[in-house]
Amino acid sequence: MHDPRTSPAFLRGMTRSRSVSRRDAFRLAGLSAAGLALSACGVQGQQKAAPKPSEVADFWSGKQKNGKVVFANWPEYMPEDRGPLKKFQQETGIAFDYLEVIDENATFFGKAEPQFKAGQPLGYDIIVITNGMQFARMQALGYLVALDHKQLPNFAANAAPKYKNPAYDPDNTYSIPYTSGMTGIAYNTKYVKEPITSIQALFDPKYKGKVGMMADAQEIANYGLLALGITPEKSTKADWEKAAALLDKQREDGLVRKYFDQDYIDAVSKGDVWLTMGWSGDVFQRQLAGEPVAFAVPEEGGTIWTDNMMIPKGAANPVDALMLMDHLYKPEVAAELTEYIQYVTPVPAVKELLSTKAAGLKGEDKEALEAMIASPLVFPSEEDYAKLHGYVSPTEPAEQEAFQSMFQAVTQG
């Protein structure tokens, strides 16, 4: 059992998915090596249209299970005892290799891209990537294997409808969700005495110098748009300009203390910032650890993101990969994952399974599990979902560039 008293939040804050890690230090070193792999005489784009069903069938026909699968995931995304994976091995005889090698979408893609381009396999059969610019690029550049949904019966049976056919991957052609989370406002209740309900709190002069925003262009753009009452998914370039201007003013007025990559959670729990854009799971962790942090999805709306499982092109064991992906959609397996990860599960049956489990527990374990089941951060209500928006996803290269440089000018000025 995952014991919150040992403060996993601290560990997560230091090491987990959305926090800075030592790997970042090697990023610049990676630049020159990756630069080498780029052919000196121009690289052709490889934009791909969505595959035809016949192509998908061709790819999968004759593919066999190899008895082996390599799963690349984010840190703290699998129980320490690797229970769900061991169960999979027992049931299928497929050996697994589980690697916690992804700690940022951009870093992971930045390093993998030259390999993809050169047609070399990454050495992973499953990778987990958030919906967003990198995922879109991988789809567009044909770096992903289209999934054979005939081999994903558990996904079909157990995934909630809202996790099927997402805008960022129509018909789940390339991916199925691993877990979801919300971007809302995290705040320190020691300093912020009123409950935060509105996104305007981030623009309130009384929190001058104590506001944290996210450095990621898609994350911050959503909040600029929502603050203006614009629906992100339907926004236009003109809307982006307005949002960027608003965010720029927020910065010029000295409201923003810092644009965070991932390390906002320590800052807000220590009180370096009083309120900040934040991710639901991080905050829930800190709450369990007894830290004075609260989380709100603003009434104007928040952002929902999803980390998705996918098969990179060149994967050696695609059938085994599909089997494992589907295995994780068995409700009891999904429940085990959710209990550990504490983000939002795409499998609704988990809630009831965990409630049954909680009824059989005692004392603090029971309290902790019940708190989790009751938490809208882990099991958001339909009302909460209604307020959640996807990222702005410009597809045209020129649009992408305009979008990024607009918001990066705010965060990196």
Partner 1 sequence: MRRVRATAAPYLLALPAWIWFGVFFVVPIAAMASVSLTTGNILEGFQQTFSVSNYAAAIGQYHTQMIRSLVYGGVATVIMLLLAYPMAYWIAFKGGRRKSMYLFLLLLPFFVSFVLRTISWGFLLADDGILFGPLKSAGLLPQGFHVLATEFAVIGGLVYNFLPFMVLPIYVALERVDPRVIEAAYDLYASRWAAFRRVVLPLSLPGVFAGVLMTFVPATADPVNARVLGGTGTTMIGNIIQTEYMTNNDYPTASALSFTLMAVLLVGIFVYARSLGTENVLEAAAR
DSSP string, 396-412: SHHHHHHHHHHHHHHHT
Does 107 bind partner 1 (CB under 8 A)? Our answer is yes
Residue 305 touches partner 1, criterion: CB under 8 A: no
Residue 110 or 348 having the CB closest to partner 1: 110
Stretch that binds partner 1, among 28-36, 68-76, 118-126, 366-374 (CB under 8 A): 28-36
Q: Is 209 one of the binding residues for partner 1 (CB under 8 A)?
A: yes
Angle at 258 between CA 267 and CA 221, to 5 degrees: 115
For the bound state, the minimum distance from the C-beta of residue 31 to partner 1, rounded and expressed in Å, comes to 5
Residues 257-296 vs partner 1: string with x where CB under 8 A?
xxx-x-x--x---xxx------------------------
The amino acid sitting at 114 is P
| DSSP per residue, 197-213 | --GGGGG-GGGTT-EEE
126-130/293-296 β-pairing: unpaired
Q: Does 349 bind partner 1 (CB under 8 A)?
A: no
Residue in 85, 256, 268, 323 binding partner 1, rule: CB under 8 A: 256
Beta carbons of 12 and 266 less than 8 angstroms apart: no
Q: 319-345: string of b/e by CB count within 10 Å (b at 16+)? A: bbbbbbbbbbbbbebbbbbbbbbbbbb
Residue 158 vs 411, nearer CB to partner 1: 411
Label residue 410 left, alpha or beta by phi (over 0 means left) and psi (-120 to 50 means alpha): alpha
CB of 257 to partner 1, least distance (A): 5
Q: Give the residue ranges of DSSP H helices in 190-300.
A: 217-227, 237-252, 264-270, 280-288
Confirm or reject binding of residue 14 to partner 1 (CB under 8 A). Answer: yes
User: Three-class SS of residue 327?
Assistant: helix
- Taking the least distance from each CB to partner 1, the nearer of 261 and 332 is 261
* Nearest residue (CB) to partner 1, 27 versus 87: 27
Q: CA distances (Å), 5 to each of 2, 243, 288, 326, 393, in order?
A: 9, 41, 8, 33, 40
Count of positions on this chain that bind partner 1 (CB under 8 A) = 54
User: Smallest distance, Å, CB 13 to partner 1?
Assistant: 10
Beta-strand ranges (E) seen in 101-221 are: 126-130, 175-188, 211-214
* Least distance (Å) between residue 137 CB and partner 1: 6
Nearest approach, Cβ of 145 to partner 1 (angstroms)? 19
Q: Which is nearer to partner 1, 191 or 385 (CB)?
A: 191
Q: Does 412 bind partner 1 (CB under 8 A)?
A: yes
Q: Is 35 a binder of partner 1 (CB under 8 A)?
A: yes
Q: 33 or 50: whose CB is closer to partner 1?
A: 33
Gyration radius of the chain over CA positions: 21
Residue 58, both tokens: 């061709």
Query: Looking at 51-59, 92-100, 133-141, 299-307, which segment touches partner 1 (CB under 8 A)?
Result: 133-141
Task: Give the residue, chosen from 11, 95, 141, 361, that forms a contact with partner 1 under the rule CB under 8 A.
Answer: 141
The answer to whether the beta carbons of residues 257 and 207 sit under 8 Å apart is: no
Q: Is 280 exposed, middle or buried (0-12, 13-18, 19+ CB in 10 A)?
A: buried
| Residue placing its CB nearer to partner 1 in the complex, 133 or 176 | 133
In the complex with partner 1, the residue whose CB is nearer, 82 or 137, is 137
First to last CA, the chain: 45
Binding site for partner 1 (CB under 8 A): 14, 20-22, 24-25, 27-28, 31-36, 38, 40-47, 106-107, 109-110, 113, 133, 137, 140-141, 209, 217, 251, 256-259, 261, 263, 266, 270-272, 397, 400-401, 404-405, 408, 411-413
